[in-house]
């Protein structure tokens, strides 16, 4: 029963503190009065008795304190009292508190903002029911399977071996997560294996018409039980079901965001029909708003049943449903009681049956094909892979910034603790334990940190909004991540605030309580706390060193961006308007496409303000391009080249110089009656770039030479009729590769329009022209070439901006830290300065003394910082372009900048020091 | 008075518990009783006494209640709990063993 009375006591202690305090008072008072009685009875005078009793008892307060401590629940009460006292302190010096809270808010806010991105991109789970039960299938083999067609939906980036890197024959092995339709059907029919299995793949480009002007949309083809397996419901109407796979009338489900964006959230959309690439579809529902995507970053506007592919894809063939076409990603839900290993084994058996025994086997037994099953939350990587490194770099930068902020605030608190020396000494003398006072100072610093954290969370919300807006501007598709400062992120903020509070509060608190009580209480204005000064100086040096790291990083990113922008792309990028158009989506036959392109080109050239126009099957500097494998004669070899299919006037429009021979003419490009790629004469003409000529025909002219595409059977010969200047095709970073230019094959194209003035002003006229010539089509992704390049450089731009911002903050904080330290030192050492001046030192000498001290600290910090930066920036190698991680120009500029800023920070305290009146100081001692 | 060492703390606890074994009493009376029984040798300082009383109560060896003292005033009386009684027996046995051992060592003749 001991524990029961103990519990009672503890509860009483916790809740009934005032009452217990009164009791303690009374108990002690009783003792003293009893002693007084005793003394009087022994013959003392009442007054003497009282004094004797009190003296005998000893210090009442410390004893009371010990009794309270013995009760063991004083911690909570003390904390509350400490916080109240702390709050009172801060009210008394609002300016100081405001500065400290602001500094902390910047550091914590930046950390919160970056964490919310990390949370949204890397940590957040799948927005489906019971995501831990979902698994994604992948295959592995010693060599690349001999598939007819293999496409990736970008669902398992990082796992898949790149098609370009695939090697025939034994190699490092191949892997992927695309499977064939028969394999999916077979696995799905095995009822006992999984609770559900669904397959999906990206839909071809979609043109949505029949509802306002035609627009592009991005869809996903899914099996009927997609929504059922994932456990996603409908916000409106219904989602897909198994029956939709066989239904005669095709149906579609819209995503919630797309429904709001394209249809204005119109609830009557359910049951209405739209045309997708000309085929009629019925919209049966809108998905739940929380279901933005399955694979991170892959946002789709609508979901269609797998069976409708032949309706919307002109190039679809039945053969793509066979064993040799691997187009589907498979995600399944585990059945309780059936472990993943069992699913793996069964799936591997089925997989082997599929690929080994197929007509024209895709793999041999020696290739060890197998299927792996991985949790979907980690297996579906999507866009995470491309953001991972940037987020890592930003985390480090933000961590450094937070460290600087902590060091800064620690320095400020240290200086202020100096002015509270007396108060602390008094408390120590009165018997307060050192631990108590440290606890109170820590409570104060934590209070500051929490206030800073709250303000920081607010700043982070704005910051995140601005960043997301900036990022959305640069993409044509929705971001694919919901970045927000939500509950999880706020929990992180709270954790960081508390940690920060202890981190920057501990050293000053410990330092502040290590006072020599007697001398502090007796002292005059002079206090030589050398250790505190050293600690303060150390903090400033640390801040400067950390600032160097951030500044160097920012400098490298800025230089990289600068270098990339300075790369000569080989063509004139200014004043070019781009837009995409794809008549195949509206079912145009080839002759109609030819006619349309011709009319469009003529119409565009006729517009006032347009210099020339052309088209090509890929935009330049858009991050992607076509490639081809060629067979060259004399000496016979097989080479990989870049390929671009272009329309007439391409080189002229883009300003690419023709160095030899001629460009492709309109006749070259017009179709032959026989179809195929030959022109009217039956010959096939191509143009190559200078890199091609130099690499494959060194020392001679390639004009007149022939080549063939490397295909399965006999291929026609192409003739080279011209050599053009090198241009950067898909990327600025990539070296110029041998490139061939051949006539466009009537696919969807990008039009390039060179204008005399601002291209965007022509957009309405261009749209009107397209609407007139092809009312069932729409120009999409309308941008200038400069915008396209900006989009290409998006990663570098955002890194430069963010690191630049952090660098500015770090610089400001270091400047503030140095100023505060010097100002405090000057104030502290007025006596010493006065004596020096009395002894003959002049203003200049005093100023020099202060500035020299400040610059010495800065220089030390710079040296340490450069060493640290050299170690850190080494890992940035992949990001940088045109600048080495230890670029001397950057290092020198950063050092110079810091010294200049430090000089400014020293100036005011230096001037302040000269204002000391030596006579006043000497007399006041 | 600063925090007592462990040995001294344990000793004070023992004295208090033993005193209370003889009857309920308040803090002042406990100190007076210890003084008188030890012939004025052991004077328990208030700085040790009251924290010890609160500690022992917190640990559950003694319990307190308010009552009327001999001089008609309200005082906090302490009493031994059953667990406290058992604890006292244990500690007393330990103490006797310890002091016997110390006595042996002190009595030993060099050589």
- Mapping DSSP onto H, E and C, the string for B13-44 reads HHHHHHHHHCCCEEHHHHHHHHHHHCCCCCCC
**A347 lies in the same domain as A427:** no
* Cα separation of the two ends of chain A: 67
Chain B nearest-CA distance from A521, in A, is 21
DSSP A309-345: HHHH-TT--GGGGSTTEEEEEEEEEEPTT--HHHHHH
Contact A276, A206 (CB under 8 A): yes
Based on the structure, what is the number of domains in chain A?
Answer: 6
Would residue A699 be called left, alpha or beta, if left means φ above 0 and alpha means ψ between -120 and 50 degrees?
Answer: left
What percent helix, strand, coil does chain B show, rounded to 5? Answer: 60, 15, 25
Res A520 pLDDT > 70 = no
Tell me how far apart the alpha carbons of residues A778 and A766 are, in angstroms, rounded to a whole number.
10
Measure CB to CB from residue A71 to each of B28, B54, B69 and give the nearest one. B54
Measure CB to CB from residue B54 to each of A35, A37, A70 and give the nearest one. A70
Mean of the pLDDT values across residues B51-62?
86
Res A587 pLDDT > 50 = yes
Tell me how far apart the alpha carbons of residues A807 and A555 are, in angstroms, rounded to a whole number.
9
**A501 lies in the same domain as A638:** no
Contact A27 B51 (CB under 8 A): no
Total Cβ atoms within 10 A of residue A249: 9
Strand blocks (E) in A77-212: 134-141, 149-150, 174-176, 179-180, 194-202, 206-209
Strands A251-254 and A279-287: parallel
Main-chain dihedrals φ then ψ at residue A796, nearest 5 degrees: -65, -35
**A40 lies in the same domain as A83:** no
Contact A137, A347 (CB under 8 A): yes
Q: Which residue did the predictor score with more confidence, A303 or A6?
A: A303
Residue that the structure tokens 């006749």 belong to: A667
Contacts A31 to B, Cβ<8 Å:
26-28, 46, 50
Burial class (CB in 10 A: 0-12, 13-18, 19+), A510: middle
The domain boundary residue, chosen from A286, A315, A344:
A315
Omega cis (within 30) before A635:
yes
Nearest CA among B47, B40, B50, B66 for reference residue B16: B50
User: A764-788: per-residue pLDDT in tens?
Assistant: 999 999 999 998 898 988 999 999 9
Contact A31 B76 (CB under 8 A): no
**A680 lies in the same domain as A823:** no
User: A489-501: per-residue pLDDT in tens?
Assistant: 999 999 998 888 8
**A624 lies in the same domain as A755:** yes
pTM: 0.77
Contacts B27 to A, Cβ<8 Å:
27, 30-31
In this structure, is residue A577 part of a structural domain? no
Chain B nearest-CA distance from A5, in A, is 7
Chain B nearest-CA distance from A832, in A, is 40
Burial class (CB in 10 A: 0-12, 13-18, 19+), A660: middle
Res A175 pLDDT > 90 = no
**A264 lies in the same domain as A309:** yes
A67 touching B (Cβ < 8 Å): yes
Res A124 pLDDT > 80 = yes
B99 touching A (Cβ < 8 Å): no
Predicted confidence at residue A401, as pLDDT, reads 94
Domain that holds residue A139: 128-201+318-379
List, in order, residues 6 or more apart from B16 with CB less than 8 Å away. Answer: B30, B34, B49, B52, B53, B56, B62
Tell me how far apart the alpha carbons of residues A280 and A252 are, in angstroms, rounded to a whole number.
10
Contact A63 B54 (CB under 8 A): no
Chain A nearest-CA distance from B111, in A, is 47
Main-chain dihedrals φ then ψ at residue A724, nearest 5 degrees: -115, 165
In this structure, is residue A601 part of a structural domain? yes
Contact B27 A31 (CB under 8 A): yes
**A470 lies in the same domain as A613:** no
In this structure, is residue A864 part of a structural domain? yes
Contacts 24+ apart (CB under 8 A), A524-528: A524/A925, A525/A830, A525/A831, A525/A924, A525/A925, A526/A831, A527/A418, A527/A421, A527/A828
In this structure, is residue A574 part of a structural domain? no
Q: Two tokens at A230?
A: 């994932």
Mean pLDDT of chain A: 85
Contact A5, B81 (CB under 8 A): yes
Q: A596: part of which helix (H) or strand (E)?
A: helix A590-606
**A539 lies in the same domain as A519:** no
Tell me how far apart the alpha carbons of residues A515 and A100 are, in angstroms, rounded to a whole number.
25
B72 touching A (Cβ < 8 Å): no
User: A719-760: per-residue pLDDT in tens?
Assistant: 899 999 999 999 899 889 999 999 887 788 999 999 998 999
**A594 lies in the same domain as A733:** yes
User: A274-288: per-residue pLDDT in tens?
Assistant: 999 889 999 999 999
- Which residues in chain A (424-463) have CB-CB distances under 8 A to chain B? none
Max avg pLDDT among A447-451, A522-526, A633-637, A834-838: A447-451
Contact A26 B74 (CB under 8 A): yes
Mean of the pLDDT values across residues A400-421?
85
Based on the structure, what is the number of domains in chain B?
Answer: 1
Contact A66 B76 (CB under 8 A): no
Report the chain A residue with the minimal C-alpha distance to residue B50: A67
Tell me how far apart the alpha carbons of residues A25 and A14 are, in angstroms, rounded to a whole number.
18
Q: A645: part of which helix (H) or strand (E)?
A: strand A637-646
Contact B50 A26 (CB under 8 A): no
Q: Domain of B87: which CATH number?
A: 1.10.10.10
In this structure, is residue A650 part of a structural domain? yes
Contact A752, A577 (CB under 8 A): yes
Which of the four pLDDT bands, split at 50, 70 and 90, describes residue A164?
very low
Contact B71 A72 (CB under 8 A): no
Mean pLDDT of chain B: 83
**A326 lies in the same domain as A306:** no
**A138 lies in the same domain as A102:** no
User: A799-817: per-residue pLDDT in tens?
Assistant: 999 999 999 999 999 998 8
Tell me how far apart the alpha carbons of residues A782 and A577 are, in angstroms, rounded to a whole number.
7
Size of interface A-B (CB pairs under 8 A): 76
Measure CB to CB from residue B46 to each of A31, A69, A70 and give the nearest one. A31
Residue that the structure tokens 């039945």 belong to: A318
Which stretch of A417-421, A548-552, A692-696 has the lowest confidence by average pLDDT? A417-421
In this structure, is residue A572 part of a structural domain? no
Contacts B45 to A, Cβ<8 Å:
58
Chain A nearest-CA distance from B90, in A, is 17
Tell me how far apart the alpha carbons of residues A504 and A448 are, in angstroms, rounded to a whole number.
10
Measure CB to CB from residue A9 to each of B3, B57, B69 and give the nearest one. B57
**A224 lies in the same domain as A366:** no
Residue that the structure tokens 């001037």 belong to: A911
Domain that holds residue B18: 3-108
Q: A696: part of which helix (H) or strand (E)?
A: helix A690-696
Q: Two tokens at B111?
A: 């050589």
Predicted confidence at residue A764, as pLDDT, reads 93
Tell me how far apart the alpha carbons of residues A136 and A230 are, in angstroms, rounded to a whole number.
12
In this structure, is residue A38 part of a structural domain? yes
Res A443 pLDDT > 60 = yes
In this structure, is residue A211 part of a structural domain? yes
Percent of chain A with pLDDT over 90: 40
Res A384 pLDDT > 90 = no
């Amino acid at each position: 029963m001991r524990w029961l009375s103990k519990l009672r006591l503890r509860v009483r202690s916790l809740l009934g503190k005032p009452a217990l305090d009164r009791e303690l008072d009374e108990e002690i008072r009783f003792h003293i009065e009893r002693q007084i009685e005793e003394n009087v009875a022994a013959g003392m005078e009442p007054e003497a008795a009282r004094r004797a009793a009190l003296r005998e008892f000893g210090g009442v307060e410390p004893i009371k304190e010990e009794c309270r401590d013995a009760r063991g629940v004083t911690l909570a009460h003390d904390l509350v009292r400490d916080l109240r006292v702390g709050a009172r302190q801060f009210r008394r010096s609002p300016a100081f508190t405001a500065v400290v809270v602001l500094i902390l808010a910047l550091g914590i806010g930046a950390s919160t903002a970056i964490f919310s991105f990390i949370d949204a991109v890397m940590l957040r789970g799948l927005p489906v029911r019971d995501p831990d039960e979902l698994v994604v299938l992948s295959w592995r083999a010693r060599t690349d399977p001999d598939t007819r067609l293999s496409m990736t939906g970008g669902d398992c980036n990082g796992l898949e071996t790149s098609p370009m890197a695939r090697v025939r024959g034994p190699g490092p092995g191949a892997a992927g997560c695309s499977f064939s339709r028969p394999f999916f059907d077979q696995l799905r029919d095995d009822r006992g294996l999984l609770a559900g299995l669904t397959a999906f793949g990206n839909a071809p480009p979609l043109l949505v018409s029949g509802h306002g002007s035609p627009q592009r949309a991005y869809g996903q083809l899914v099996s009927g039980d997609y929504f059922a397996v994932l456990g996603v419901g409908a916000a409106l109407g219904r989602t897909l079901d198994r029956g939709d796979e066989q239904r005669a009338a095709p149906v579609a489900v819209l995503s919630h965001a797309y429904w709001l964006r394209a249809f204005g959230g119109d609830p009557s959309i359910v049951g209405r029909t739209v045309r997708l690439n000309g085929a009629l579809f019925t919209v049966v529902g809108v998905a739940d708003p929380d279901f933005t995507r399955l694979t991170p970053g892959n946002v789709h506007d609508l979901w269609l049943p797998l069976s409708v592919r032949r309706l919307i894809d002109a190039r679809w063939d039945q053969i793509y449903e066979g064993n040799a076409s691997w187009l589907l990603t498979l995600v399944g839900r585990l059945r309780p009681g059936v472990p993943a290993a069992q699913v793996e084994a069964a799936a591997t058996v089925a997989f082997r049956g599929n690929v080994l025994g197929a007509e024209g086997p895709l793999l041999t037994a020696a290739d060890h094909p197998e299927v792996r099953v991985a949790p979907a939350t980690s297996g579906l990587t999507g866009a995470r892979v491309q953001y991972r490194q940037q987020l890592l770099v930003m985390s480090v930068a933000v961590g450094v910034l937070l460290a600087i902020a902590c060091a800064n605030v620690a320095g400020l608190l240290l200086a202020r603790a100096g002015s509270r020396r007396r108060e602390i000494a008094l408390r120590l003398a009165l018997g307060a334990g050192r631990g108590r006072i440290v606890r109170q100072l820590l409570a104060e610093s934590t209070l500051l940190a929490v206030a800073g954290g709250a303000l920081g969370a607010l700043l982070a919300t704005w910051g995140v909004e601005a960043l997301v807006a900036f990022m959305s501007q640069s993409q044509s598709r929705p971001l694919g991540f919901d970045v927000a400062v939500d509950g999880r992120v706020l929990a992180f903020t709270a954790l960081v605030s508390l940690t920060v509070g202890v981190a920057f509060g501990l050293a000053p608190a410990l330092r502040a309580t290590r006072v020599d009580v007697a001398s502090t209480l007796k002292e005059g204005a002079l206090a030589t706390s050398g250790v505190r000064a050293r600690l303060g100086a150390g903090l400033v040096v640390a801040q400067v060193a950390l600032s160097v790291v951030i500044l160097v990083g920012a400098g490298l990113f800025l230089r990289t961006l600068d270098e990339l922008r300075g790369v000569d792309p080989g063509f004139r990028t200014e004043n070019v308007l781009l837009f995409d158009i794809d008549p195949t989506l509206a079912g145009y036959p080839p002759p109609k496409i030819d006619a349309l392109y011709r009319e469009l080109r003529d119409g565009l050239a006729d517009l006032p303000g347009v210099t020339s126009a052309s088209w090509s099957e890929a935009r330049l500097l858009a991050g992607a391009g076509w490639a081809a494998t060629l067979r060259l004669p004399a000496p016979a070899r097989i080479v990989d080249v870049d390929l671009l299919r272009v329309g007439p006037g391409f080189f002229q429009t883009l300003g690419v110089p023709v160095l030899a021979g001629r460009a492709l003419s309109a006749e070259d490009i017009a179709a032959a009656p026989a179809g195929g790629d030959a022109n009217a004469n039956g010959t096939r003409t191509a143009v190559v770039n200078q890199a091609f000529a130099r690499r494959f025909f060194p020392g001679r002219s390639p004009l007149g030479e022939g080549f063939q595409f490397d295909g399965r059977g006999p291929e026609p010969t192409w003739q080279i009729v011209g050599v053009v200047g090198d241009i950067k095709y898909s990327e600025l970073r990539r070296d110029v590769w041998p490139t061939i230019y051949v006539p466009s094959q009537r696919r969807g194209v990008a039009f390039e329009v060179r204008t005399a003035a601002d291209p965007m002003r022509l957009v309405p006229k261009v749209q009107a022209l397209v609407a007139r010539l092809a009312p069932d089509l729409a120009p999409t992704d309308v941008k200038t070439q400069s915008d396209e390049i900006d989009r290409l450089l998006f990663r570098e731009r955002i890194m430069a901006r963010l690191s630049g911002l952090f660098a500015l903050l770090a610089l400001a904080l270091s400047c503030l830290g140095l100023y505060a330290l010097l100002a405090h030192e000057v104030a502290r050492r007025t006596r010493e300065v006065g004596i020096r001046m009395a002894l003959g030192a002049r203003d200049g000498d005093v100023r020099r003394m202060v500035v020299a001290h400040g610059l010495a600290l800065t220089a030390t910090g710079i040296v340490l910082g450069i060493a640290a930066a050299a170690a850190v920036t080494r890992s940035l190698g992949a990001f940088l372009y045109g600048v080495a991680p230890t670029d001397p120009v950057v290092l020198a500029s950063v050092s110079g900048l810091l010294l200049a800023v430090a000089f400014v920070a020293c100036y005011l305290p230096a001037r302040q020091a000269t204002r000391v009146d030596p006579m006043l100081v000497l007399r006041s001692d | 008075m600063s925090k007592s060492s462990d040995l001294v703390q344990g000793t004070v606890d023992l004295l208090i518990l033993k005193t209370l074994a003889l009857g309920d009493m308040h803090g002042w009376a406990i100190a007076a009783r210890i003084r008188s029984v030890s012939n004025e040798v052991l004077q328990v300082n208030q700085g040790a006494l009251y924290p010890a009383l609160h500690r022992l109560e917190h640990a559950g060896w003694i319990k307190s209640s308010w009552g009327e003292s001999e001089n008609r005033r309200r005082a906090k009386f302490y009493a031994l709990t059953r667990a406290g009684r058992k604890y006292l027996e244990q500690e007393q046995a330990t103490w006797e063993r310890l002091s016997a051992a110390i006595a042996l060592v002190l009595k030993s003749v060099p050589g």
